[in-house]
Every structure is written in C-alpha cells, then in structure tokens.
Chains A and B, each alone.
Chain A
Amino acid sequence: DTGVSQNPRHKITKRGQNVTFRCDPISEHNRLYWYRQTLGQGPEFLTYFQNEAQLEKSRLLSDRFSAERPKGSFSTLEIQRTEQGDSAMYLCASSSDTRPYEQYFGPGTRLTVT
C-alpha cells in the first residue's frame, strides 16, 4: 500500500497526559499537512511542511501542540497536557510540489481524552 499511513489509529488518554501521533506520507510527496476534524465538521488546517521545514501554522495550533518532520520523511504531532477539547480525529495529508492542492489523506488518528 503506497498511500498515507497514520499510527496509532485510535488513542485514548487521560486529561493531562502527552500523546504523539505519526504520519508516513506518500513516498514521493514533499508536502505534508496536519488537519483536525471534530464530529459533524470538516477538517481544519493545523500545520504544513515542505520537506523538513514547517512553513505555516494555524492559530488553532496552541503552544501545547508541536509538529516535526525530521529529514523530510515521516512527521509526528505531539500534544502536551491534553484537554478534553483536544478529542478529535487528527488527519495527515500529503501532496507533491507540482500539484500541492491535490492532497491525499491518511485514515486518521482518533483521539479521545477522558
């Protein structure tokens, strides 16, 4: 399977704990995006990487959120001191430089904060 993969698929954590998610993009794609989707809403943009450089961050990305993409391959999204409002589906997408609008999504990581 050469699509976008995300791990874990589900994560249940207690309020105040730290969590980390991983995204592996389509291998030839330089661009990687993180989105968050809550129930009944469309995905909302969080942050974007071109190769290893994080070029844009949404105001939704509070100081408790950090994302990395070492060596321009996989990416991680960490949430520190989780809150119940962080419960959502976290989606990763990737695209090429030549067609950056053509974004392909992974299956998502569903986070539940209790």
Chain B
Amino acid sequence: QKEVEQDPGPLSVPEGAIVSLNCTYSNSAFQYFMWYRQYSRKGPELLMYTYSSGNKEDGRFTAQVDKSSKYISLFIRDSQPSDSATYLCAMSRITGGGNKLTFGTGTQLKVEL
C-alpha cells in the first residue's frame, strides 16, 4: 500500500464549478502538506502548503488538512479552463535531513467551457 493515495481521475467539471481534490495518507509522521499543479510535460508548480492541521486560503484555492483522519483536500472556486492540469498532493516529515516529498499519483482535472 502506498503512503499517499490519490484518485487519478480524470475529473471533468464545467467552468465556474467548485472542485474538490483529495488525498489520504497512512504515515502519521507527515507534518507538511503541499499541493502542486502540473501541466502536461512540464515540471510541478507549487500552489500552496500547510503545516499540520487546519485551513489555508490563497485566492481561489483553499487547502485543508485533517490529521485525525489523515485526509487532505484542495478546493478550487470558480474553476477556469486554465485550471485544467494534473494536481499532485505531496507530504513531508519534519526530519533532521532533507524533507523529501512523498507524492500522490496526481488527479487529472479538466474544466470545460
């Protein structure tokens, strides 16, 4: 079983919809939770990160972490066709070393006109 599970989709929504993307994880040592956006054949782009539990908002994006359920979410409000991409969740432990990221498989999102 993978440490981080993410539904690969594809997820198709109409323009203007609220999108909910989710990941579950098994390792309680994870403390930092990131969301990346990746367009086809490009490198991942960091959208936002959250430390421990709670919510964080940045424009149309809201990240939520529920450590008790080992569940994280990314909400996108007023979705646009330009939001069409693969969304990757990633997690990191607090260690004395490198904070390597453990990723989910990514969810492919398509926002249609």
Contacts and interface: CB of A to CB of B under 8 A. Distances in A.
B90 A42 contact: yes
Contacts, number: 69
A108 B100 contact: no
B58 to A, nearest CB: 14
Main secondary structure of the interface of A (DSSP, over half): strand
B49 interface: yes
A26 to B, nearest CB: 12
A72 to B, nearest CB: 14
B97 A56 contact: yes
Contacts of B99: 95, 100-101, 103
B38 to A, nearest CB: 9
Contacts of B43: 4, 6, 91, 105-108
Interface residues of A, number: 28
Interface string B40-83: 01111110010000000000000000000000000000000000
B97 A101 contact: no
Given A42-B88, A42-B90, A42-B105, A105 B100 contact: no
A45 B100 CA distance: 7
B42 A107 contact: yes
B44 A43 contact: yes
Interface of B: 4, 6, 8, 32, 34, 36, 41-46, 49, 88, 90, 92, 97-106
Interface of A: 4, 6, 31, 33, 35, 40-45, 48, 50, 55-56, 91, 93, 95, 100-108, 110
